[in-house]
Structure 1
Amino acid sequence: MDLDLWALVLSVVGIAVPLFAFLWEFFFVGRKRLGYRVQLDTTARDEIGSEHAGVLAEMKPEAGSKLVHPSFVLVRIENAGSTTIDEQDYQVISDVKVGVRLLFPGRTVAGMVVTELEPPDLHSNFGELSVLGKGTLNNGPEPTGVVTLPRVPLNRGDHYKVLVVLERAAGGEDGPPKDPRIEAGVKGGRVKKTESGTGLSRRTAALMVFMALIIVGLGLVTVVNEDTPLDCAGGTLKLTGSTAIEAVMREAGDMYADTCPGAAFSYDFQGSSAGLSTLQEAGDQAKASPDVLAFSDGAKADLQPQLLPRPVAFLLFTLVVNKDAGVGDLTIDQVRRLYDGQIANWKDIGGNDVPVTLISRKPGSGTRTTFQHQILQGKREAATNSDNCRTRDSGGAPGIIRCERDRTDDLLNGVATVSGALGYAELGAATERTDLTVVRIDGQRATLEAATHGAYPFWETEFAYTYQEPKADSLAASFLRYLTNQVGKDIIRSHGNRPCDELDNPVLCRPA
């Protein structure tokens, strides 16, 4: 059989068997399922004989002498199916008001209480007019204690517990008591003894083994099938643009080239604007779609119509600060005041007595544009007054020292080595550094969940730009598809970013 056909068969079986097991368990035989579980069944004779028995030694039924051979049973009654159990669903017990009977052979019921009702409004089913009660059956070989429970409507997951205090029946045998029994029935369903969930059931273990074998089988098919992937394209492709996505694209390009020997990549990441200019020039010269992809932090509105954006990833950015500053959390207002020049020393906002230095990306950087748009509310950063980030240039503007760097790595190196320096960068690159501090904004760390829910403001969509539409069989088109398949997505995720189509709200990735 063809290896691809084997892979298809294994995939279909791997999906069909768990699906059938699910439907069988929760729709065919377990749609309505009343579960019960004996969570405690223990005697207390030894304890009552001890000097620490306390109130246990005084226990007695409603009328009569103290208990001599007491035992305690805790039973959980629950809806363990996939749909509601209504009052009319209970059956088999002759008294139509009774839903469940708990039987305790060889023991009589001294007292009982219903507890741990979930939800609490189940309490209304156990009022004075309900059939909740206790008694003793004497029509068998030995007396049997009985607890009657009403027909309690239970939604999926609802449960309650019954705690019963029992006494060994007169003339009963020594030794451990017999196991409790339950009498109940459910129309269109069943009553089942459930488990505590502390371990795997046999069915679950068998299903896990089966799925493991399917996975191993698919892995073997993949290993054996050494044919070149059908989507491979040949040629040389230039990747340029934002340095925030550089590490991701270098890894993706190298892995694509390893998989497809006829492909090669060159890299020239100098910033979003520079990359888009490179793409525009190459396209204008070729009069067609060139072998160039440009990446930009955020969509650019002031471009010629030949440059077409495609959302690739949702990128998180972060502020970073030199450890000498002594801060790790800034409010959004403090950040704006820092870049407005109103805060010149970290001690003014609770940090150390160290002057503030601002290290920014150069104009044209997508990261800088994102910072100005998302954090500074569209306000441009002030002009620089220093080249070395340590001393003010001759004739430079007064105030705090401001400087700029071309690349993400250069900015991070500057923040790490210049005392009191503050800057910003792509999160994945920043978190790899241990020689600087990643700053929280308004107490919120940079996380995907926080960004997509509006709690963290510093993020942007990464776009891949082409000059016109590349041919379907070109390396550019193939590589773009590669970024959206599983391997490409894994690479994007490994750098702390997220593929656009995996967002709960994919609209965040569309061009503005």
Structure 2
Amino acid sequence: MKWFKQITIAALIAVIGFSSVHVADAASKLSGKIVINGSSALLPLTLQAANEFKKANPKVKISASAAGSITGPQAVRKGIADIGAVDWDATKDVPGFKKFDGQVAHKVAVIPFATVVNKNVGVSNLTTKDLQGIFSGKIKNWKDVGGKDAEIIVVNRTFGSGTRVNFQDKALAGEDFMTKGDNYKEVKTSGDMKTAIETTPNAIGYMDLAYVTDKMSALSVNGVAPTEANVINGKYKVWGYGYYMTKGQPTGAVKEFIAYVQSAKFQNGSLKKLKFIPISAMK
């Protein structure tokens, strides 16, 4: 019996070892190169997903860059990117941008956007009317919205930003931004916005929750905090879906990568840890 048990155990080890090799071989069969461009709001999600996907598929190379949402579908149209990351459905017209014909939108995340201020600003809540006044340049001093006597420094994203499109539509109810002034500056990416808000006293701006740090304050809007729970229950309105755009239906490694980002494993794991919300959470 002893030799029989030893043979059985050895056989099981052999089977397990063969299975492991088989799985590894199956995973390594997927190959190719994926180029992703576009939204800086989605960049943390894209980079994390790329790292995880490449571990399971070592023959797939993925490069990702972010210069603003509009560059995503533009790069796909020009053929220089396989995936265009964008903070709106680029198959439809939105204010300021025409739809991109021939592209397919793949919903990958729910993105909560927050109004953020430098830590020295003594304000925790603003109304829609306050935000409209501040970002239009009509309200110039923090004392006019319950803060201290200090000039408001408005930090805006450049035209073409998906975060800007969402913030203007949902936080400002479509009202226009100011475009110049001594108290006004524009930044290109979410990372640039993060740096500007952290280092500029009396500054106000906006970004997705993935970029919010303890070196700044995320404000409530109309008394509602920018939290996952408040987005899901419908109380907090300043959010949007993030999309991956492709030229037609994706195939090969591109198809599998998008499927991984949309999978329950990633959506309920790394995506949530990065302060995005799973697409399945929204009714």
TMscore range, shorter length: 0.7 to 0.9
Deviation of 1:442 after TM superposition, in Å, equals 1.7
Equivalent residue, structure 2, for 1:422: 204
Q: Does 1:279 align with 2:279?
A: no
Q: Does 1:497 align with 2:276?
A: yes
Deviation of 1:466 after TM superposition, in Å, equals 0.3
Asked if 2 retains the 8 angstrom alpha-carbon contact of 1:384 and 1:404, the reply is: no
Equivalent residue, structure 2, for 1:295: 85
Q: Does 1:406 align with 2:188?
A: yes
Asked if 2 retains the 8 angstrom alpha-carbon contact of 1:229 and 1:260, the reply is: no
Aligned AA for 2:185? C
- Provide the secondary structure at the position in 1 that maps to 2:62: strand
CA 1:445–1:361: 2 relative to 1, 3 Å: same
Asked if 1 retains the 8 angstrom alpha-carbon contact of 2:218 and 2:226, the reply is: no
Asked if 1 retains the 8 angstrom alpha-carbon contact of 2:115 and 2:205, the reply is: yes
Number of residue pairs matched by the alignment? 258
**In the aligned structure 2, how far is the partner of 1:442 from the partner of 1:282?**
43
Per-residue deviation, residues 257-283 of structure 1 (Å, max 9, x unmatched): 111110111111111101211111017
Deviation of 1:379 after TM superposition, in Å, equals 2.4
Structure with the larger strand share: 1
**In the aligned structure 2, how far is the partner of 1:231 from the partner of 1:318?**
39
**In the aligned structure 2, how far is the partner of 1:237 from the partner of 1:483?**
14
Gaps of 5+ in 1: 1-220, 284-290, 386-391, 393-400, 506-512
Equivalent residue, structure 2, for 1:254: 51
Higher RCO (CA < 8 A, seq sep 6+): 2
Percentage of pairs with the same residue: 22
CA 1:229–1:246: 2 relative to 1, 3 Å: farther
- Provide the secondary structure at the position in 2 that maps to 1:404: strand
**In the aligned structure 1, how far is the partner of 2:25 from the partner of 2:224?**
43
Q: Does 1:488 align with 2:278?
A: no
- In the TM superposition, what are the counterparts of 1:83-102 in structure 2 within 5 Å? none
CA 1:487–1:449: 2 relative to 1, 3 Å: same
Aligned AA for 2:34? L
Which of 377, 381, 389 is the matching residue for 2:173? 377
**In the aligned structure 1, how far is the partner of 2:27 from the partner of 2:278?**
20
Equivalent residue, structure 2, for 1:200: none
Gaps of 5+ in 2: 1-15, 93-97
- Provide the secondary structure at the position in 2 that maps to 1:363: coil
Deviation of 1:384 after TM superposition, in Å, equals 2.7
**In the aligned structure 1, how far is the partner of 2:236 from the partner of 2:69?**
23
CA 1:451–1:370: 2 relative to 1, 3 Å: same
Deviation of 1:414 after TM superposition, in Å, equals 0.7
**In the aligned structure 2, how far is the partner of 1:451 from the partner of 1:486?**
19
Aligned AA for 1:469? Q
CA 1:314–1:354: 2 relative to 1, 3 Å: same
**In the aligned structure 1, how far is the partner of 2:116 from the partner of 2:26?**
43
Aligned AA for 1:254? N
- Provide the secondary structure at the position in 1 that maps to 2:108: strand
- Provide the secondary structure at the position in 2 that maps to 1:437: strand
**In the aligned structure 2, how far is the partner of 1:442 from the partner of 1:248?**
29
Asked if 2 retains the 8 angstrom alpha-carbon contact of 1:344 and 1:356, the reply is: yes
Deviation of 1:304 after TM superposition, in Å, equals 3.0
Asked if 2 retains the 8 angstrom alpha-carbon contact of 1:231 and 1:478, the reply is: no
Equivalent residue, structure 1, for 2:8: none
Equivalent residue, structure 1, for 2:13: none
Equivalent residue, structure 2, for 1:114: none
Equivalent residue, structure 1, for 2:112: 316
- Provide the secondary structure at the position in 2 that maps to 1:498: coil
Deviation of 1:504 after TM superposition, in Å, equals 4.5
Deviation of 1:303 after TM superposition, in Å, equals 2.4
**In the aligned structure 1, how far is the partner of 2:77 from the partner of 2:204?**
34
Deviation of 1:485 after TM superposition, in Å, equals 2.0
Asked if 2 retains the 8 angstrom alpha-carbon contact of 1:324 and 1:354, the reply is: no
Deviation of 1:457 after TM superposition, in Å, equals 1.4
- In the TM superposition, what are the counterparts of 1:166-181 in structure 2 within 5 Å? none
What is the TM-score of this pair, normalised by structure 2?
0.85
CA 1:345–1:229: 2 relative to 1, 3 Å: farther
**In the aligned structure 1, how far is the partner of 2:227 from the partner of 2:26?**
36
Deviation of 1:328 after TM superposition, in Å, equals 1.4
Deviation of 1:293 after TM superposition, in Å, equals 0.6
Equivalent residue, structure 2, for 1:463: 243
CA 1:429–1:273: 2 relative to 1, 3 Å: same
What is the TM-score of this pair, normalised by structure 1?
0.48
Structure with the larger helix share: 2
- Provide the secondary structure at the position in 1 that maps to 2:225: coil
CA 1:343–1:229: 2 relative to 1, 3 Å: farther
Equivalent residue, structure 2, for 1:327: 123
Q: Does 1:443 align with 2:223?
A: yes
